[in-house]
A and B are shown apart, each in its own frame.
Chain A
């Protein structure tokens, strides 16, 4: 009897230790998934503030050229060094971030409206569904960046046109997400009942279907924001986005590529800012998704 109790006692304390370990690793995991959201928001908010306060953060304007000071390495005077025209790189990167953020937010905002309207109405009206979704299929069959290049090449390289091009290529993604969330509601019996009671289509669409699409919409919008920042940078890098001399992270990188053998800072700093913007938004989106609907397939994007 005694021996047995002793034995059970040790067994118990062992297993208790194991349990504590298990619980701790669980807490860590939870904390991590929260930390994703946290890190993402901190990075994004920080970059947002930098973008907003860009003119006040810099002692040089992004266009101010000092040819004697070409391609200087980072120093106290020029934190990120200078570029091939002797412009202050810190100022250009900060203003470039401002452009990226502005493009990202505008595209997110525009596609939120266009995507929601298209998604909701095609979920409600079958005939609209056929037409709109085929158009979306057509737009999605084409690599987005090529379409954006074609559009900005035609419309001209400036910020407004980049925003227009990116909104066109991102709308189908949002429309699809909204549509599939809205259709779930539409097929529920109470919608049929509402219709029988004489509720108008727009009332059903905006009061009953729309709220159900909010969380997938917000998550997807975050990713559209991230992708827009990414594609804007690529477009500008290819010379089809924001035209120089106006700074954009993409065209700074293009200038940097030419002098990559002598000026590493022109690649590293703008690159870091692109990475941080996109990473911040992706972390934010992933964290949000874990929080809002933990059952979605994490790999799907």
Chain B
């Protein structure tokens, strides 16, 4: 059932060199994506999920960023490619769409210009052919009367339309992998579903792999096949989507799941809130990074950090195999 692995991130460590010394934002993250698969990466803001996605395309300022580990794509480590080799991959083999469609399009060029630009960079076609392709892409992403729209500027389109344009730009060269960084966060709820459906649809048509970065578990449940949960720059749990929702092993994942409101649940009960706040990356807790906020933390947790363990369902927790499996009333009663 498993298709060949498209992208393999292993031990990725991204460090920002700031004025106050280096800060490691992504710490030893590993995961794989196959063609036709949608991998969800979830976590709170500041957990390093966006930096992870930008590291894959090496979009961060390399004068102030240091990458370690490997990102293997088609038997090549992206982290060791030259800038020029990297450019031929960006937008061509691996594409990316961003959170805020309002600011992610260049305001002074028409959307046709912006789609055609990608095509002309990566394919040897003239301007006319590129524009024809741009119209086709707009039609593919469900924009009405694309022949007219292609000459419009970003400010003449709504947010949802702009995100469709972003998708058209990203997919113009039929990439093998799409990295979508919170593609629906800035959109209205009704538009969100349309955009997600569109991404799913095009994924199937183009047989791409998709990495979907989000903080929204609803989105994950809707479209992902596998999920990676990140906390404070590290992967704390990874599993198939059904497995994760039915049988979350990490206390953080459990907390996340319980903080989502459920219609069929007891609505008189208060929503679960994970206690405490996300610690600063400059002051990472000793031992398990989640220990200060965890209801199950023991001395062991506070002393040494657990490894990411397991095979198909991986988890980074000392107690994953014992008491946590029978999560339930006890846990909920505890958190208020």
* Chain A residues within 8 Å of B, Cβ to Cβ: 11, 15, 18-19, 22-23, 26
Contact = CB atoms under 8 A, between A and B. Distances in A.
B17 A19 contact: yes
A15 B16 CA distance: 12
Contacts of A23: 21
B22 interface: yes
Given A22-B64, A26-B19, 8 more contacts: A11-B68, A15-B15, A15-B66, A18-B17, A19-B17, A19-B22, A22-B17, A23-B21
A293 B15 CA distance: 29
Nearest to A15: B66
12 contacts: A11-B68, A15-B15, A15-B66, A18-B17, A18-B66, A19-B17, A19-B21, A19-B22, A22-B17, A22-B64, A23-B21, A26-B19
Contacts of A22: 17, 64
Nearest to B15: A15
Contacts, number: 12
Interface in B9-52: 15, 17, 19, 21-22
Interface in B50-77: 64, 66, 68
A69 to B, nearest CB: 59
A22 B21 CA distance: 9
B17 to A, nearest CB: 5
A15 B15 CA distance: 10
Contacts of B66: 15, 18
Nearest to A16: B22
B40 to A, nearest CB: 31
Contacts of B15: 15
Nearest to B19: A26
B20 to A, nearest CB: 10
Nearest to B22: A19
Contacts of A18: 17, 66
A175 to B, nearest CB: 35
Contacts of A15: 15, 66
B273 to A, nearest CB: 31
A56 to B, nearest CB: 47
B229 to A, nearest CB: 27
A23 B17 CA distance: 9
Contacts of B19: 26
A52 B66 CA distance: 55
A166 B21 CA distance: 49
A22 B61 CA distance: 14
A257 B17 CA distance: 54
A193 B88 CA distance: 61
B79 to A, nearest CB: 12
Contacts of A11: 68
B318 to A, nearest CB: 23
A22 B19 CA distance: 9
Nearest to A12: B68
A9 B21 CA distance: 19
A23 B21 CA distance: 7
A11 B15 CA distance: 14
A164 B206 CA distance: 76
Nearest to B17: A22
Interface in B214-231: none
A275 to B, nearest CB: 34
A207 to B, nearest CB: 37
A22 B68 CA distance: 18
A22 B66 CA distance: 12
A40 to B, nearest CB: 24
A194 to B, nearest CB: 35
A23 B64 CA distance: 11
A295 to B, nearest CB: 15
B143 to A, nearest CB: 38
A241 to B, nearest CB: 47
A161 B66 CA distance: 62
A59 B22 CA distance: 60
A11 B68 CA distance: 9
Contacts of B68: 11
Interface string B145-182: 00000000000000000000000000000000000000
A26 B21 CA distance: 10
Contacts of A26: 19
Nearest to A30: B19
